[in-house]
Amino acid sequence: MATSEQLHKRRLSAVAKGVGSVVDAYVDHAAGGTLTDVDGREWIDFASGIAVTSVGNAAPAVVAAVREQVERFTHTCFMVAPYESYVAVCERLIELTPGRFEKRAALFNSGAEAVENAVKIARHATGRQAVVVFDHAYHGRTNLTMALTAKNMPYKHRFGPFAPEVYRAPVSYPLRDGGLTGAEAARRAIDVIEKQVGGSNVAAVLIEPIQGEGGFVVPAKGFLPALAAWAKANGAVFIADEIQTGFARTGQWFASEDEGLEPDLITTAKGMGGGLPIAGVTGRAELMDAVHAGGLGGTYGGNPIACAAALAAIETMRMLDLNAAARRIETTIRAALTDVDQGIAEVRGRGAMLAIELVLPGGEPDPTRTAAVSRRCHEAGLLTLTCGTYGNVLRFLPPLVIGDAELERGLGILRRALHT
Ligand SMILES: *Cc1c(COP(=O)(O)O)cnc(C)c1O
């Protein structure tokens, strides 16, 4: 079998350089919270393929469901010849998402595609064009979602021109906005929206309840409800992008539930598919059904194999109570990071979506140390990811089924990497 080194050589002359990887180890197999590379080295997984394998890698129920489906039929295109599992995934989405109102759902392949479609639906339903997004936001890498995403490098640099009618407002970032309350931060954002866009032009206010790639920024309490209330008062659609936060990751089915939010539309992807590519837009029936027949879709959206995987993943989350597991993981990780040094400005996040922000003595971001800690984790066999506009946030996204021993072992590696 080829070694990682050999595979890496082949990669350099075959795979475009623009596609990066966090580590140079090539995966052979994975299970639960562990990856094993082709050199036989084990990695503790604090990445979950970016918050995807919440039910564990190659989760038995997902594997069985995929196997059963792939033998029955692989693809018909739901727009050509429909099948039950697509309907069943939509039923699960309607049931699990917050919002005590009549809902509909539609399925797509990726998070970016779900966000694009949520914007399409909001624009169609309102007859308006402007979309309000926030500082540090991440919504994807397609043309529209690049415009919605805040950070230039690496996501947008030299990839313009970007889609028009996208407006950016300041977010609530308690560590870096002087500790504004949620209400104050919302007032500041609403001021920008009203002055620079005009309430009657806004089709949608689109926000991650906890920012993902932007640095696991948790807004101050009250920020999200104030924005949602403003959207409602102004006839704009409030869209929660729960692609990273959704499906038990934060210890609830959706992070919006934490403040009793009932978003008009919710985008989901990542964890919902148990490792297969699937995404959804779920929300108010009158918005979703406003679009003319044939206006939404795509060849692979809600592919039967991905739907089978999603149904099995969601059932696994329910059976194993992975919401409770996420909350237990939070307790364990926070306990391991209590005696951290002053270089760590904050441990933040919710459930199994936690991060530390590393700073220099004056409070300036410290991306150099962040990269060094990350490298030391990788050298010791712990797969971690960084994030944040300033590249100074280390984030932890273990599979929710990670064993206590694996979690403790991973945290031991992390603590040593932080203290050297
Ligand atoms: C990952 C992510 C996306 C994009 O999803 P893809 O499947 O990579 O297209 C959009 N929004 C949020 C919040 C994400 O974390």
Q: What global pTM score does this model have?
A: 0.98
Measured by CA distance, the residue closest to atom 8 of ligand 1 is 111
- Final residue belonging to a domain, choices 319, 340, 370: 319
Q: What percent of the chain has pLDDT over 90?
A: 98
CA of 226 to the centre of ligand 1 (A): 24
> For residue 191, what are its two tokens?
């001021």
Residues 305 and 158 in one domain: yes
Residues 280 and 402 in one domain: no
Residues 305 and 325 in one domain: no
CB 32 within 8 A of CB 43: no
Q: Where are the beta strands (DSSP E) in 212-328?
A: 237-241, 265-268, 279-284
Place of tokens 């403040």: 259
Owning domain of residue 365:
4-55+321-419
Which of 28, 124, 115, 53 is closest to 272 using CA atoms?
53
Q: CATH code at 261?
A: 3.40.640.10
Ligand 1 atom nearest residue 113's Cα? 9
105 vs 273: CA distance, rounded Å: 15
Res 343 pLDDT > 80: yes
- Final residue belonging to a domain, choices 284, 319, 354: 319
Ligand 1 atom nearest residue 109's Cα? 7
Residues 175 and 252 in one domain: yes
Query: Ligand 1 pocket test: which of 53, 119, 171, 244 has the largest number of ligand atoms within 8 Å of its C-beta?
Result: 244
Res 1 pLDDT > 90: no
CB contact set of 305 (below 8 Å; sequence gap of 6+): 66, 69, 70, 74, 75, 276
187 vs 33: CA distance, rounded Å: 42
> For residue 241, what are its two tokens?
């992008």
pLDDT band per the 50, 70, 90 thresholds, residue 181: very high
Residues 278 and 344 in one domain: no
Measured by CA distance, the residue closest to atom 5 of ligand 1 is 111
Ligand 1 atom nearest residue 211's Cα? 13
Ligand 1 atom nearest residue 112's Cα? 9
Number of domains the chain contains: 2
Res 420 pLDDT > 80: no
Alpha carbon dihedral 277, 282, 286, 289, in 10-degree steps, equals 20
283 vs 264: CA distance, rounded Å: 5
Partner residues linked to 319 by β-bridges: none
CB contact set of 346 (below 8 Å; sequence gap of 6+): 175, 356, 357
Q: What is the tens place of the pLDDT at every residue in 13-63?
A: 999 999 999 999 999 999 989 999 999 999 999 999 999 999 999 999 999
Residues 100 and 210 in one domain: yes
Residues 358 and 297 in one domain: no
Res 229 pLDDT > 80: yes
Residues 74 and 48 in one domain: no
- Final residue belonging to a domain, choices 319, 338, 367: 319
Q: CATH code at 406?
A: 3.90.1150.10
Residues 178 and 290 in one domain: yes
What angle separates helix 322-336 from helix 304-319, to the nearest 10 degrees? Answer: 70
Query: Ligand 1 pocket test: which of 138, 141, 207, 300 has the largest number of ligand atoms within 8 Å of its C-beta?
Result: 138
Query: Ligand 1 pocket test: which of 19, 115, 256 has the largest number of ligand atoms within 8 Å of its C-beta?
Result: 115
Residues near ligand 1 (Cβ within 6 A): 110-112, 115, 138-140, 208, 212, 241, 243-244, 269-270
CA of 318 to the centre of ligand 1 (A): 23
Residues 76 and 164 in one domain: yes
Measured by CA distance, the residue closest to atom 6 of ligand 1 is 111
Q: What is the tens place of the pLDDT at every residue in 59-80?
A: 999 999 999 999 999 999 999 9
Overall average pLDDT of the 274-284 stretch: 98
CA of 139 to the centre of ligand 1 (A): 5
Res 338 pLDDT > 90: no
Q: What is the tens place of the pLDDT at every residue in 380-389?
A: 999 999 999 9
Residues 351 and 366 in one domain: yes
pLDDT at 419: 86
Q: What is the tens place of the pLDDT at every residue in 91-134?
A: 999 999 999 999 999 999 999 999 999 999 999 999 999 999 99
Ligand 1 atom nearest residue 279's Cα? 7
Residues 198 and 275 in one domain: yes
CA of 51 to the centre of ligand 1 (A): 10
CA of 388 to the centre of ligand 1 (A): 15
